[in-house]
Structure 1
Amino acid sequence: MASAPPEIFVRARRRARRDRAAARFADHAFLVDAIGDELLDRLDDVTRHFDHALDLGCHDGRLGERLKLRGMRVTSADAGFRFASAAGGVQCDEDRLPFADASFDLVVSAGVLDQVSDIPGALALIRRVLKPDGLFLAGFLGAGSLPVLRDTMMAADMAADRGVGPRLHPQIDVRAAGDLLHRAGFALPVADSRPLAVRYGDPLRLIHDLRGMAATNLLVDGGRAPLTRIGLAAAAARFAEGADLDGRRAETFELMVMTGWAPDPASASRPPPSEPRRIF
């Protein structure tokens, strides 16, 4: 019997942070909205109707509402109780889905799969809950995201003289994303990404946004101590070194998008829903 994959994220911490973020999520939803736009653009390239969609990692249900406007029934699910309740959905982890096989003809996921301990397991379950010839569309933060914050936090930890440790999650690149789709058994797998630049006046505002979208450190071994005054001063100084004349810096969010079809022999010749837009 195969052993369970290691838990790299703390599930209870993730649920608690999603619950904490739920009340004011709308103030920090720009990233999920940008990912949702990407997913709907891909969906609009598909010349068929989808009847029943699963919005996996639904946050406050904003993407699901946009799917309903396209005439779909939507089941919402989120690891956080408050998000799931707000969307009238089910609370569950993405790698522990409670749905029957072949329940949906579309699964969408915006901004959460980079926080799942067992991504291969989650993708395998997503493929199982899709009907044959069902479509999977997911977007999340990929490799290359948050370079300014990484550099700033490194400077803070070094100034505090307590060693540099993990403050940000590991990230998936385009090649790894495509391999994960293939391993999970999806047909016509496509992975691509594009950068989204957002300008900030200080690193604390960036951290505030990450907290507001429930995207802060969940690593099992990432329980770093809060920044000291020395660390905060060093972080502010490192941030200012690269600032423009107006005192602001552009932080990069690399939006990774995964697309795959549940296998169906009758549609083996189906073209991909959109042309890959690879950015390396």
Structure 2
Amino acid sequence: MTQAPMQLFDRRTLAARRARRQLDALFLHQMARGEAEDRLSLVNRTFTSPAVVCPFPEVWNGFQPEAKIVADEDVLELAEGAHDVVIHAMCLHWANDPVGQLVQCRRALKEDGLLLVILLGGQTLHELRTALAEAETVVLGGLSPRIAPMGEIRDLGGLLQRAGFALPVADLIPVTAEYRDLPHLVHDLRGMGETNALAQRLKRPVPRALFQLADHIYREHFATSDGRLPATFELVCLTGWSPSDSQQKPLRPGSAQMRLADALKVPETKLKP
């Protein structure tokens, strides 16, 4: 009998974490919405059938009256070929099958439809990772899964190609928030529904000394001049288009009609063998 693949994330726990969200902590989701609105306004096209995949629908209230709001589930409630733009907002970093999520979005797009993905990238909470790793090594004598691994931008861009999108583009927006101390940061992460939901996480109580030492290490390595703790959040934006014959295609190698030297108006240099 074939075994199901190991799941990186415990989706039931994630849903419970998200259910305790606090609206005043969802600033990253509000930023993601603003970024989506700005980027769509720069596209020379009117979108009439948008869909938004997101964990917190209240953030997207009033986005566009005709937008379909879709829950972040393993199987997305998206009809095939129904949308001219799909926004996948702040949840791909929690997907057990990110390529599968993108494939579902591609199938939901009409020909030459736009996908816009906003998710957390690899440098997110790197300060917290460092502090917890050092503290856990001292207090517990080893490391355990505490912060979800997040993709680097070069790898995330490749997901679009694997999912069959054309003209893929990836870029990032670094965001830094400042906190009084480690409990203040953890409070915000809980309010975002972004605390530990790894399937292999430790499920026993953690000694208070671990977080006390982590706060000290965090402050020692990263504190600002006025004693605040900076926390990095990296928003990665991915865009791709569902394939269409009308889209521009790269030229075949050797098919150029002009030499590069002529195009640049510079003398051609012959290389010695």
TM class, shorter-chain normalised? 0.7 to 0.9
Q: Secondary structure at the match of 1:135?
A: strand
Superposition map of 1:116-195 within 5 A = 116-195=95-174
Superposition map of 1:235-254 within 5 A = 235-241=214-220, 242-254=222-234
The structure with the largest alpha-carbon Rg is: 2
What is the CA–CA distance in structure 2 between the aligned matches of 1:169 and 1:37, rounded to whole Å? Answer: 25
Please name the residue that 1:45 is paired with: 42
What is the CA–CA distance in structure 2 between the aligned matches of 1:161 and 1:99, rounded to whole Å? Answer: 45
After superposing the two structures, state which structure 1 stretch, 109-118 or 218-227, moved more: 218-227
What is the CA–CA distance in structure 2 between the aligned matches of 1:151 and 1:224, rounded to whole Å? Answer: 21
2:197 alignment partner, one of 204, 209, 218: 218
Q: CA deviation at 1:194?
A: 2.1
Unaligned residue ranges in structure 2 (runs of 5+): 250-273
Q: Does 1:11 align with 2:11?
A: yes
Kept after mapping to 1: 8 A contact 2:174/2:234: yes
Q: Does 1:104 align with 2:101?
A: no
Q: Give the AA of the match of 1:9.
A: F
TM-score (normalised: structure 1): 0.82
TM-score (normalised: structure 2): 0.84
CA RMSD of aligned residues (A): 2.0
Structure 1 pair 193–224 and aligned structure 2 pair: CA distance change class (3 A): farther
What is the CA–CA distance in structure 1 between the aligned matches of 2:206 and 2:228, rounded to whole Å? Answer: 21
Deviations 1:35-88 (A, max 9, x none): 22222222111011111111101513323522x1xxx51111224xxxxxxxxx
Please name the residue that 1:63 is paired with: 60
How many residue pairs match? The answer is: 248
Structure 1 pair 75–252 and aligned structure 2 pair: CA distance change class (3 A): same
Superposition map of 1:10-29 within 5 A = 10-21=10-21, 24=22, 26-29=23-26
Q: CA deviation at 1:155?
A: 2.9
Please name the residue that 1:197 is paired with: 176
Please name the residue that 2:236 is paired with: 256
Q: Give the AA of the match of 1:109.
A: H
Q: Give the AA of the match of 1:13.
A: T
